[in-house]
Amino acid sequence: MTTTTEPAEPATSAAPTYHNVIAGERAPAVSGATFSSRNPANHEEIVGVFPRSGPADVTRAVAAAVEAFPRWRRVPAPARADLILRAGSIMQERKEDLARLMTREMGKVLEESRGDVQEGIDMAKYIAGEGRRFFGETMPSELRDKFAMVIRQPFGPVAIITPWNFPIAIPTWKIFPALLAGNTVVFKPAEDTPACAAAFVEIMHEAGLPSGVLNLVTGFGEEAGEPLVEDERIRMISFTGSGEVGREVAARGGRQLKKISLELGGKNPIIVMDDADLGLALEGALWGAFGTSGQRCTASSRLIVQRGVLDEFTAELVKRASALRVGNGLEAEVQMGPVVNQTQLERIHRYTGIGIEEGATLLLGGRVLDDAPYDRGYFYAPTIFGHVTADMRIAQEEIFGPTTVIMPVATFEEAVEVANGVKYGLSSAIYTRDINRAFAAIETLEAGITYVNAPTIGAEIHLPFGGIKATGNGHREAGTSAIREFTELKSVYIDYSGRLQRAQIDTE
């Protein structure tokens, strides 16, 4: 549970009150409890007041999704796609408003918030195209006068549980393909970004989504997320968030044999070889480490640098990072916003202490920015550690803030070994001009994504997204995997011989 959201706080006149959306109706929490979402750049500003939902609200939302399912699955896929495309057009029209709301609610700078919304728009276009594909397969039967095919079918009501760092993009990665495939949805967004979620759900209904097909339940993980995971009527769960909660979701849902798709954390390396274009590598490292204040699952949180360029790379990165303009992301010149809440701020600062204790050299930052104009927000200085070794916790654990570490290596082989020496395997990158090394890195880096001469962030929606090892449980979102994630396969045999034909026996 986070501390931006203080329970049962009365609405101020300035802050709008929001509702859950269940069966197309706006509804407060059954208990009447609320929580507020605050602007992390100014925590005195309440973005909105939301239902603090519990099991009773979740039960109602799942019931609505169950009821809506038989009708929705019968809507032809191209018609479901039209609706998603319409939602994408509305998002396009409201891109600026949505982006501003996002920056106010979770802090990333406006340009990045626009990118987040754009990702949702791209996803709408891509998934709408799937409505006229939604391919199955045909294959020959081993018997005469017999036809064989595989078709895709929806699960039924599915649960979508999302984090706060991509408050529009991540829900669209999940909700668009889930709906296109004919599932109905109960959506539990992060407690730090319920306003973005509410704006998205409203757009879906404006686009013509029938009641009950997409239900929104706001609230905290333990109170609203857990009962959703436990509800027996939910057959599939798509979760993005921390490894800790992901494991819990997998254990609870797994006991009921649900399909569970997990996208979890990362500790993503950029390898910088001696032969790299150093200017390019520095630009990439700066963007990869400090974009979204480092709060991306794909953030470049480890910079593995060959010794020949180590001193120059380090000095120049420190210089460039110290010049980053930190502030309220709505202000045009600001390059890095606040972190999302007090809990995150404390966690990031705790890791600074750990790094110092472990013997790493603090090269930049390492402090909470709490004097004016930062005193009403959750601001942390861009932070760089040098002389970091692979066994240190700051080189192993996800910090999820504007902290990156520089790890010196002698050779390419050592760089790959260090890169692979963590439990996570989401994104990875190498800067080199040597094509052989680039391909060797593509082959050997243990990650779901590898970039060459680009930082670890920058996924495009038409490629599968996800990671290996502790980053997930073998699933991929978006791209060609998107529909696969949200469908069951049915194998179909049609015997038009008019007689009993026994497979494996009557083969003559």
Residues that bind ligand NAD (CB under 6 A): 161-166, 188-191, 220-222, 225-226, 229, 240-242, 245, 248-249, 263-266, 297, 398, 400, 426, 471
> Would you give the DSSP letter of residue 391?
T
CB closer to ligand NAD out of 2 and 389: 2
- H helices within 107-233, ranges in order? 110-130, 169-180, 194-206, 226-230
CB closer to ligand NAD out of 154 and 189: 189
What residues does 409 pair with on adjacent strands?
A: 306
Q: Which of 268, 216, 264, 266 is nearest to 240 (CA)?
A: 264
Q: Which of 125, 98, 122 is nearest to 193 (CA)?
A: 98
Q: Which of 258, 216, 218, 265 is nearest to 238 (CA)?
A: 258
Give the pairing type, strands 383-386 and 403-409: parallel
Write down the least CB distance from residue 170 to ligand NAD, Å: 6
Using CA atoms, how far apart are residues 80 and 102, in angstroms rounded to an integer? 27
- Catalytic residue chosen out of the listed positions 263, 398, 477, 485: 263
Using CA atoms, how far apart are residues 441 and 439, in angstroms rounded to an integer? 5
Write down the least CB distance from residue 340 to ligand NAD, Å: 8
CB closer to ligand NAD out of 130 and 223: 223
Q: Is 200 helix (H, G, I), strand (E, B) or coil?
A: helix
CB closer to ligand NAD out of 314 and 341: 341
CB closer to ligand NAD out of 348 and 363: 348
- For the chain, how many residues are written? 508
Label each residue of 15-34 as H, E or C.
CCECCEEECCEEECCCCCCE
Write down the least CB distance from residue 241 to ligand NAD, Å: 3
- The count of C-alpha atoms lying within 13 angstroms of the C-alpha of 365, restricted to the half-sphere facing its C-beta, is 33
**Got the DSSP string for 273-295?**
-TTS-HHHHHHHHHHHHHGGGG-
Concerning whether 263 is annotated as a catalytic residue, the answer is yes
CB closer to ligand NAD out of 310 and 339: 339
Write down the least CB distance from residue 74 to ligand NAD, Å: 31
CB closer to ligand NAD out of 225 and 377: 225
Write down the least CB distance from residue 60 to ligand NAD, Å: 18
Write down the least CB distance from residue 129 to ligand NAD, Å: 22
- Amino acid, res. 251: A
Write down the least CB distance from residue 367 to ligand NAD, Å: 22
Q: Which of 186, 235, 238, 233 is nearest to 212 (CA)?
A: 186
Element (H, E) at 429: strand 427-431
> Would you give the DSSP letter of residue 336?
B
CB 244 within 8 A of CB 398: no
> Would you give the DSSP letter of residue 467?
-
- Catalytic residue chosen out of the listed positions 297, 398, 477, 485: 297
CB closer to ligand NAD out of 130 and 191: 191
**Phi, psi dihedrals of residue 386, rounded to the nearest 5°:** -110, 175
CB 51 within 8 A of CB 188: no
Concerning whether 196 is annotated as a catalytic residue, the answer is no
Cβ-Cβ contacts under 8 Å for 306 (sequence gap 6 or more): 271, 272, 273, 274, 408, 409, 410, 411, 412, 415
CB closer to ligand NAD out of 81 and 459: 459
Q: Is 196 helix (H, G, I), strand (E, B) or coil?
A: helix
Using CA atoms, how far apart are residues 300 and 401, in angstroms rounded to an integer? 11
CB closer to ligand NAD out of 182 and 472: 472
CB count, 10 Å around CB of 460?
A: 11
Cβ-Cβ contacts under 8 Å for 257 (sequence gap 6 or more): none
CB 179 within 8 A of CB 200: no
- Amino acid, res. 234: I
Residues noted as catalytic: 263, 297
